[in-house]
Amino acid sequence: MSTIFGLQMRRELLLAFRSPQELVNPWLFFLMVSSLLPLAVGSDPALLKTLGGGMIWVMALLACLLSLDQLFRSDYEDGTLDQLLLLPEGMFWPVLAKVLSHWLVSGVPLALLSPLLAIMFGLPADLYLLLPLTLLLGTLSFSLMGAIGAALTVCLRRGGALLSLVIMPLYIPVLIFGAGSLSRAMDGYNAAGSVAVLAAFAAFALAFAPLAIVAALRVGADG
pLDDT of residue 199: 96
**pLDDT mean over 8-25:** 81
* Higher local confidence (pLDDT), 39 or 160: 39
Residues 84, 213: contact at Cβ < 8 Å? Answer: no
Please state the three-class secondary structure of 46-107 as a single string. HHHHHHHHHHHHHHHHHHHHHCCCCCCHHHHHHCHHHHHHCCCCCCHHHHHHHHHHHHHHHH
Identify the burial level of 17 via C-beta atoms within 10 angstroms of its C-beta, where 0-12 means exposed, 13-18 middle and 19 or more buried.
Answer: exposed
The torsion of the CA quartet 133, 137, 139, 142, rounded to 10 degrees, works out to -160
pLDDT tens figures, 179-195: 999 988 888 888 899 99
Residues 70, 151: contact at Cβ < 8 Å? Answer: no
pLDDT of residue 83: 76
C-alpha span between 40 and 52 (Å, rounded): 13
**pLDDT mean over 65-83:** 77
Give whole-number Cα distances, 47 to 37, 114, 121, 137, 179, in Å: 11, 18, 9, 26, 16
Residues 133, 195: contact at Cβ < 8 Å? Answer: yes
Q: What percent of the chain has pLDDT over 70?
A: 94
Highest mean pLDDT among 4-18, 52-66, 80-94: 52-66
Name the average pLDDT for the chain.
Answer: 84
Half-sphere exposure of residue 38, counting CA atoms within 13 Å on the CB side? Answer: 15
What are the residue boundaries of the structural domains of the chain, listed by start? 2-222
pLDDT of residue 181: 92
* Higher local confidence (pLDDT), 136 or 11: 136
Least confident stretch, 8-12, 71-75, 205-209: 71-75
Residues 82-111, buried b or exposed e (16+ Cβ, 10 A)?
eebeeeeeebbbbbbbbbbbbbbbbbbbbb
DSSP-derived secondary structure letter, 159: -
Highest mean pLDDT among 11-25, 46-60, 136-150: 136-150
Q: How far apart are the first and last CA of the chain?
A: 28
